[in-house]
Amino acid sequence: MIPHVLAGRDVLGQAKTGTGKTAAFGLPLIQMIDPAARMQAMVLTPTRELAAQIVGEFRRFSQYREDVHCVPVYGGTRMKEQLHQLGRKPHIVVGTPGRMMDVISRRALDLSELRIAVLDEVDRMLDIGFRDDIRKILGALTHAHQTVFVSATIDDEIKRLAMKYMRDPVEVNVSRDTLTVDDVSQFYCTAGPWDKPRLLRMVLQTEQPKLAIVFCNTKHGARKVAMRLHADGIDCKEIHGDLVQQKREKIMERFKKHKIPVLVATDLASRGIDVHMVTHIVNYDLPQDAHAYVHRIGRTARMGEAGKAISFVRPDEGEQLSVIESLINKQLDKLEIPGYTPRSDPEQQRAAAAIPPTQTVAGAPQQGTASESDVAVAPAPAAKLGALGGRYAVPRRFRRR
């Protein structure tokens, strides 16, 4: 990718997570900066954490070019401070689309001399609703410039966006038709919602991870999981959108320094967060989007290291797991945790215990017939279990066919 960017070509780049996409566009971008000119490069990212990380990487890349000035622009921090940094006329601005639109509307960001626009993790930006902001920002660049899209996945919508805002782009795909790295061992465990806290505690005790990220689908879920882990005596921190930016940055910094062994996170942390030596990923909640699974487990096995991903699958999520397996073209193995056996729903057990036994009274149905109450508490047929559980009723070798 680097020679194409240096040659001034528009580039559509795709590579697996953890393979160095930031360096692929960052190194040539820094090399092309003219210190005598004003802002020349803009990088858009889906999250604040990724924007802060890219700025840190750019400063590390340019440590021998002290004349290159790069600043972050994203929400959760004081606008006055960011406007002050923009007033120092930086060469590179890295930020989220929403805050970038804000500073542009305040006329604090001049795009007239922009030479290159980079959209990092463009698929994620489209997923979380930045379509309009992206179109407005790219549409405002009416002068000649270079555009680079990079992502782990590129779908038809991204290609349509590229056709509208790029000039004869070079497509660079080094994903080798596989979305996940081979060094990630991937497993699943069957668990109902009532079993997950117990299973998570047993997984952490059995696996003894050096660094682990536990992913939840909601902020409320992440808070509850972190509270339960603390109650079990497990050191952990939660990170999600409800935390103020300063606290999020402090937690991530401690996690990167291995001072926090377990991080409980929403998908906020699944994109672009480069933390070395993350040994385990636990999907406490199976993600609704199969591509989110790819980016979650991409937080481990980075730069050739080994890693392990364990997904908790509810009885009604068999089909959802099959979609993920089809996407990654790999079947997950079932992980046996010593001492763990799935339990039935305690609510259903209590409800069943509260139903009085059927008694024979005058006018009641005789043997061989069924009353309405009998039908109501009859067990579900096997076909129902197949519809609910997918992999419980269908042999594994036939399930995806």
Q: Are 327 and 290 in contact (CB under 8 A)?
A: yes
Average pLDDT, the chain: 84
Work out the pLDDT band at 200, boundaries 50, 70, 90: very high
Asked whether residue 390 is assigned to any structural domain, the reply reads no
Does one domain contain both 242 and 325? yes
10 three-class SS: coil
- 161 & 16 share domain: yes
**Residue 369 belongs to some domain of the structure:** no
| Contact predicate 200/282, CB 8 Å | yes
Decide if pLDDT at 131 tops 70.
Answer: yes
- What's the rounded mean pLDDT across residues 121-147? 90
What does the alpha-carbon distance between residue 183 and residue 25 come to, in Å, rounded to a whole number? 25
Domain boundary among 173, 201, 236: 173
pLDDT at 199 exceeding the cut of 90: yes
Query: Which residues are CB-neighbours of 269 under 8 A, at least 6 positions away?
Result: 49, 213, 215, 239, 252, 263, 299
Cβ(267)–Cβ(215) below 8 Å? yes
pLDDT score, position 39 = 92
380 has a pLDDT exceeding 50: no
**Is the sign of the CA dihedral 99, 103, 109, 110 positive or negative?**
positive
* Within a domain: 291: yes
Assigned token pair, 174 = 């080094």
Query: Is 283:312 a contact under the CB 8 Å cutoff?
Result: yes
Q: Which residue has 């566009």 as its token pair?
A: 25
Give the model's pLDDT for residue 374: 39
Q: Find how far residue 82's CA is from the centre of its chain.
A: 27
Max mean pLDDT range (118-127, 188-197, 235-244, 388-397): 188-197
* Mean pLDDT value across residues 250-262: 91
Residue 363, number of CB atoms within 10 A of its CB: 4
Q: What is the pLDDT of residues 219-253, one digit of tens each?
A: 999 999 999 999 999 999 999 888 887 888 889 88
Report residue 151's pLDDT band, with 50, 70 and 90 as the boundaries: confident
Same domain, 135 and 18: yes
pLDDT average, residue stretch 331-344? 92
Q: Which of 327, 222, 241, 209 is nearest to 285 (CA)?
A: 222
- What is the reported pTM? 0.66
Band (pLDDT 50/70/90 cuts) for residue 290 is confident
Higher pLDDT among residues 364 and 255, named by residue: 255
For residue 50, the tally of other CB atoms under 10 A from its CB is: 24
Task: Return the pLDDT at 387.
Answer: 40
Degrees to nearest 5, angle at CA 134 with 130 and 137: 140
Of the two residues 374 and 160, the one the predictor is more confident about is 160
Residue range 152-178: mean pLDDT, rounded:
86
201 within some domain:
yes
Per-residue pLDDT, 177: 56
| CB contact at 8 A, 262 and 234 | yes
Q: Are residues 134 and 49 in the same domain?
A: yes
Contacts of residue 30, defined as CB under 8 A and 6 or more positions apart, other chains included, come to 58, 61, 62, 65, 68, 92
**Rg (the chain; Cα; Å):** 26
Query: Does residue 8 fall inside a structural domain?
Result: yes
Mean pLDDT of 289-298: 86
Same domain? 121 vs 210: no
Residue whose tokens read 């606008």: 79
CATH for 110? 3.40.50.300
In the chain, % of residues over pLDDT 90: 54
- Tell me, yes or no, whether 47 lies in a domain: yes
Pair 17, 45 in one domain:
yes
User: Do 169 and 207 share a structural domain?
Assistant: no
213 and 124 share one domain: no
**How many domains are contained in the chain?**
2
- Residue 212 structural domain: 184-334
Given 145, 173, 201, which residue is the final one in a domain? 173
Residues 104, 15 within the same domain = yes
pLDDT at 401: 45
Largest CA distance in the chain: 99
Please give the Cα distance from 328 to 335 (Å, whole number).
Answer: 18
Does 221 fall in a domain? yes
Residues 221, 107, single domain; the answer is: no
Q: According to the model, what pLDDT value does residue 31 have?
A: 94
Residue 270's pLDDT band, with cuts at 50, 70 and 90, is: low
Distance CA 117, CA 389 (A): 46
Band (pLDDT 50/70/90 cuts) for residue 304 is: low
Phi-psi sector, 77: left (phi>0), alpha (psi -120 to 50), beta: beta
Q: Is the pLDDT of residue 399 over 60?
A: no
In a domain, 339, yes or no: no
Same domain as 196, residue 154: no
The reported pLDDT for the residue numbered 390 is: 43
Write the secondary structure of 225-266 as one string of H (helix), E (strand) and C (coil): HHHHHHHCCCCEEEECCCCCHHHHHHHHHHHHCCCCCEEEEC
Q: Examine the domain organization and report whether 169 and 20 are in the same domain.
A: yes
Domain endpoint, select from 173, 201, 229: 173
Which residue did the predictor score with more confidence, 370 or 217? 217
